[in-house]
C-alpha cells in the first residue's frame, strides 16, 4: 500500500473514532443541529424547509454538505453519524495530501495533526469543516504540483468549494484564477478555459435554481451576518463619524481573525516556520518557492472576505480552518523541498524538526480539547432539556426563539427563529411586537446577549441556577444602549446603530414583559457565570409553572444526562 494512502486511511479511521466516540458522551453543537433538521426534512421528501409547514428557506449555509447529509439519511444513516463519516473522509484526504507532500521521512508525521486540528475540532462537534477544508487542500495540491491536464481540475474544485459554503466562493474563484497561468504554460489553456466556462454555466444554473426555489439568491445567514453589528462608537473617537460608520461595517469580522491569530489554534508558529524556510529555500533552490506561496493566496482572499461579516458561532475558528490547512500543506511542501535541497544531514533534519515543532502547539491544543470533550466539558443543560421539553411539543405548538438548534431539532413544533437565521422575513427586516403577538407562541426562549443587567433582572431573588422572573423585570433590567431598540423599536436593521444582532432579544424581552401573566418566566444561569443569559417563557396551560421550574432545575444539574447516541436509542425516539 502506498504511503499517502496508508497515511490517509490512518487519519480517516482516527478521526472517525474520535467523532463517533464523542457522540457517545455528549451532543453536537447547537448550530450543527440546525443543519441536521434541514437535512432530515430534505431526506424525508419535504424539500429544503425549516418547518414542515414551510416556507422554503435555507438557514443552513453549507449547501453541498446539506445534500450529502440528506442523501446519507435517505440511505438509512443517522444524520450525526453521517456527518462524522463524511468528515472522516475529509481527514483521510488531508492526511494523504500531507504524507504525499512530506515524502517518506519523519515529516510524514505531520499527518497526525489532522484529527486534532481546528478544522477537526469543529467537525467533531458536527460541522462540515474537515471535508470543506480538505477540498481547499486538494485545490492547493493541484495548483502546486499539478501538471498537464491535472491543473484543469481547479475550476471543478473551485465550483465544489463554492457550492459547499458561501465563503467557499472566495477560495474557489481564487484557485480557479490562479490555475489559468500554469494551464497555459503546460499547453492546456484551451481545455482549462472550457472547464472554467462549463463550471461558470453550472454556477449560473445553480443561482437560477436558487432564485426559483427560494426566491432569494443567498442563504439567510448571509443576510443576517452582513447586517451592521459593530457600533461606530466602539471605534476610536478621533476618527470622523462617517469614517467610523464605514469602518464599523467593513471591519466587524476583524476581531474574529485577530483572536484566531492569537489563539492556541492560530497560525503564528506556522507563519514563522514558513518565513524561515522561505528565506533558506530562496538561497538553495529559489525555483521551488513560488508555487507553494502562491497557493496561500486564496487563504488571504478568504480572510479579507471575512472582514465585513460578523462571524457568529465561529466554533473552533471554523471559518478560518481552510486557511490553517493551506498553511500546513505549504509548510510540509517547503520543508520537504528544503530537506531535499540541503546538502548536509543535519540541515535536512533541522528543516523537518522546524516544521513539526511549528505544528506542535496547535496539535497539543487540539488533543487537550478532545480530551476535555471526552471528559464531559461543554455539556449543557439544553442537552437534557431540549429532548424532554421537545417531546411535549406537537405540530400544533408554536415556539419563538433565538437558540434554534437543540430544541427545534428534538421537537415537532412550528418554530420561528426570531434572529432571522431560518426565517426569510426576519433575515432582512427586524421582528416586531405585532408579529410576535400574531404568532402567539406557546414557548419563548432567547439568549439575551447581555442586553439585560443580571442584577436588576433578578433583584433580591436568591442566585439559584433557575430564577423566576416578574414580567416587568425584563423592562427595568434593559441596559441603556438598547433602550431605543425596545421602544419605539426599529423598522430596519440599518437603524439599529450597529446593534442588529441585539434586536431579536430586545423585542422578545418586550413581548414577554407586556404579556403579563400569560407566560411563566424564568432566567437560567446555564453556565454558572452569573449572567442568566437564557430567558424562558412558557404558557402555563402547556406546562404548569412549578413543573417548568422543576424541569429547568433538573436540566441545569444535568440530571439524567443522555448523550446524542443514547438519546437516539431512547424509547420513543
pLDDT by position in tens, the chain (length 573): 588 999 999 999 999 999 999 999 999 999 999 999 999 999 999 999 999 988 999 998 899 999 999 999 999 999 999 999 999 999 999 999 999 998 878 889 899 899 999 899 999 999 999 999 999 999 999 999 877 789 999 999 999 999 999 999 999 999 999 999 999 988 899 999 999 999 999 999 999 999 999 999 889 988 887 777 655 555 454 445 454 454 545 566 777 888 899 898 999 999 999 999 999 988 888 888 999 999 999 999 999 888 877 777 788 999 999 999 999 999 999 999 999 888 888 988 999 999 999 999 999 999 999 999 999 998 999 999 999 999 999 999 999 999 999 999 999 999 999 999 999 999 999 999 999 999 999 999 999 999 999 999 999 899 999 999 999 999 999 999 899 999 888 999 988 877 888 999 999 999 999 999 999 999 999 888 899 999 999 999 999 999 999 999 999 999 999 999 999 998 766
d(C-alpha 411, C-alpha 421), whole Å: 18
Same-domain status, 502 and 526:
yes
Q: What would the pLDDT profile of 273-327 be if each residue is shown by its tens digit? A: 999 999 998 888 888 899 999 999 999 999 988 887 777 778 899 999 999 999 9
Q: Same domain, yes or no, for 210 and 313?
A: yes
Statement to judge: residues 353 and 395 lie in one domain? no
Number of domains comprising the chain = 2
Q: Which of 374, 406, 431 is the last residue of a domain?
A: 374
Looking at the structure, do residues 344 and 385 belong to the same domain, yes or no?
A: no
Residues 414, 296, single domain; the answer is no
| Cα first-last separation, the chain | 43
Claim to verify: residue 552 and residue 462 sit in the same structural domain: yes
Whether residue 473 sits in one domain with residue 362: no
Q: Same domain for 446 and 530? A: yes
Residue 453 lies in a domain: yes
User: Which tens digits make up the pLDDT trace of 525-570?
Assistant: 988 889 999 999 999 999 999 999 999 999 999 999 999 999 999 8
d(CA 562, CA 76): 23
Residue 67 C-alpha from the chain's centroid: 17
Q: Do 409 and 536 share a domain, yes or no?
A: yes
| Domain limits for position 435 | 381-569
- Per-residue burial over 75-93, b = 16 or more CB atoms within 10 Å of its CB, e = otherwise: eebbbbbbbbbbbbbbbbb
pLDDT in tens, 152-196: 999 999 999 999 999 999 999 999 999 999 999 888 999 999 999
* b/e per residue 218-240 (b: at least 16 CB within 10 A): ebbbbbbbbbbbbbbeebeeeee
Q: What is the pLDDT of residue 306?
A: 87
Q: Which of 225, 230, 227, 252 is nearest to 421 (CA)?
A: 225
CA–CA dist 352, 438 (Å, integer) = 65
Packing angle, helices 129-145 and 154-164, rounded to 10? 160
Asked which of 374, 398, 422 is the last residue of a domain, the reply is 374
**Spatial contact of 124 and 24, defined as CB atoms under 8 Å apart:** no
The residue count for the chain: 573
Domain boundary among 347, 374, 401: 374
> Cα-Cα-Cα-Cα dihedral of 159, 19, 383, 37, to 10°?
30
CB 16 within 8 A of CB 88: yes
Look at strands 443-447 and 398-401 and give their pairing: parallel
Q: Which residues contact 323 (CB under 8 A, 6 or more apart)?
A: 267, 299, 300, 302, 303
Report yes or no: 123 and 22 within 8 Å, Cβ to Cβ: no
Q: Do residue 14 and residue 62 come from a single domain?
A: yes
Q: Are residues 296 and 418 in the same domain?
A: no
| Alpha carbon distance 148, 183 (integer Å) | 7
The residue with cell 449555509 is: 61
Question: Does the residue 237 lie in any domain?
Answer: no
491 shares its domain with 350:
no
Cell readout for 362 is 496547535
* DSSP string for 128-152: SHHHHHHHHHHHHHHHHH--GGGGG
Amino acid at each position: 500500500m502506498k504511503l499517502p494512502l496508508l497515511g490517509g486511511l490512518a487519519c480517516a479511521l482516527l478521526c472517525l473514532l474520535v467523532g463517533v466516540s464523542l457522540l457517545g458522551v455528549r451532543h453536537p453543537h447547537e448550530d450543527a443541529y440546525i443543519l441536521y433538521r434541514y437535512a432530515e426534512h430534505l431526506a424525508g421528501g419535504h424539500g429544503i424547509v425549516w418547518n414542515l409547514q414551510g416556507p422554503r428557506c435555507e438557514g443552513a449555509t453549507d449547501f453541498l454538505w446539506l445534500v450529502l447529509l440528506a442523501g446519507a439519511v435517505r440511505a438509512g444513516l443517522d444524520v450525526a453519524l453521517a456527518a462524522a463519516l463524511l468528515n472522516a473522509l475529509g481527514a483521510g484526504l488531508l492526511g494523504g495530501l500531507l504524507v504525499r507532500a512530506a515524502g517518506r521521512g519523519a515529516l510524514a508525521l505531520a499527518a497526525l495533526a489532522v484529527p486534532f486540528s481546528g478544522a477537526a475540532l469543529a467537525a467533531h462537534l458536527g460541522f462540515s469543516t474537515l471535508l470543506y477544508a480538505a477540498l481547499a487542500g486538494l485545490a492547493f495540491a493541484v495548483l502546486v504540483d499539478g501538471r498537464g491536464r491535472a491543473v484543469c481540475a481547479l475550476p471543478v474544485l473551485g465550483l465544489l468549494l463554492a457550492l459547499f459554503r458561501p465563503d467557499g466562493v472566495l477560495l474557489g474563484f481564487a484557485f480557479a484564477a490562479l490555475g489559468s497561468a500554469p494551464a497555459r504554460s503546460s499547453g492546456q489553456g484551451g481545455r482549462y478555459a472550457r472547464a472554467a466556462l462549463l463550471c461558470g454555466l453550472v454556477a449560473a444554473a445553480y443561482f437560477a435554481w436558487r432564485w426559483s426555489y427560494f426566491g432569494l439568491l443567498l442563504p439567510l445567514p448571509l443576510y443576517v451576518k452582513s447586517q451592521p453589528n459593530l457600533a461606530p462608537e466602539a471605534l476610536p473617537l478621533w476618527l470622523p463619524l462617517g469614517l467610523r460608520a464605514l469602518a464599523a461595517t467593513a471591519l466587524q469580522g476583524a476581531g474574529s481573525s485577530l483572536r484566531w491569530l492569537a489563539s492556541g489554534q492560530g497560525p503564528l508558529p506556522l507563519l514563522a516556520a514558513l518565513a524561515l524556510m522561505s528565506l533558506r529555500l530562496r538561497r538553495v533552490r529559489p525555483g521551488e518557492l513560488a508555487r507553494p506561496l502562491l497557493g496561500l493566496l486564496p487563504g488571504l482572499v478568504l480572510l479579507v472576505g471575512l472582514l465585513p461579516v460578523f462571524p457568529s458561532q465561529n466554533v473552533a475558528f471554523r471559518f478560518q480552518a481552510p486557511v490553517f490547512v493551506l498553511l500546513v500543506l505549504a509548510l510540509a511542501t517547503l520543508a520537504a523541498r528544503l530537506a531535499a535541497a540541503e546538502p548536509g544531514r543535519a540541515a535536512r533534519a533541522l528543516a523537518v524538526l522546524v516544521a513539526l515543532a511549528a505544528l506542535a502547539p496547535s496539535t497539543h491544543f487540539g488533543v487537550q480539547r478532545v480530551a476535555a470533550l471526552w471528559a464531559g466539558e461543554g455539556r449543557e443543560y439544553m442537552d437534557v432539556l431540549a429532548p424532554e421539553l421537545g417531546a411535549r411539543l406537537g405540530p400544533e405548538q408554536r415556539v419563538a426563539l433565538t437558540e434554534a438548534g437543540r430544541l427545534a431539532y428534538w421537537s415537532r413544533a412550528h418554530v420561528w427563529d426570531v434572529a432571522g437565521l431560518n426565517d426569510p422575513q426576519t433575515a432582512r427586516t427586524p421582528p416586531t411586537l405585532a408579529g410576535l403577538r400574531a404568532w402567539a407562541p406557546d414557548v419563548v426562549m432567547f439568549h439575551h446577549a447581555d442586553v439585560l443587567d443580571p442584577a436588576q433582572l433578578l433583584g433580591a431573588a436568591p442566585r439559584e441556577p433557575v430564577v423566576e422572573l416578574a414580567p416587568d423585570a425584563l423592562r427595568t433590567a434593559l441596559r441603556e444602549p438598547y433602550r431605543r431598540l425596545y421602544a419605539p423599536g426599529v423598522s430596519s436593521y440599518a437603524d439599529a446603530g450597529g446593534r442588529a444582532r441585539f434586536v431579536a432579544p430586545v423585542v422578545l424581552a418586550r413581548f414577554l414583559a407586556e404579556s403579563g401573566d400569560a407566560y411563566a418566566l424564568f432566567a437560567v444561569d446555564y453556565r454558572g457565570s452569573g449572567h442568566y443569559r437564557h430567558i424562558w417563557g412558557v404558557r402555563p396551560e402547556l406546562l404548569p409553572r412549578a413543573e417548568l421550574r422543576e424541569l429547568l432545575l433538573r436540566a441545569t444539574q444535568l440530571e439524567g444526562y443522555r448523550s446524542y447516541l443514547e438519546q437516539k436509542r431512547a424509547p420513543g425516539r
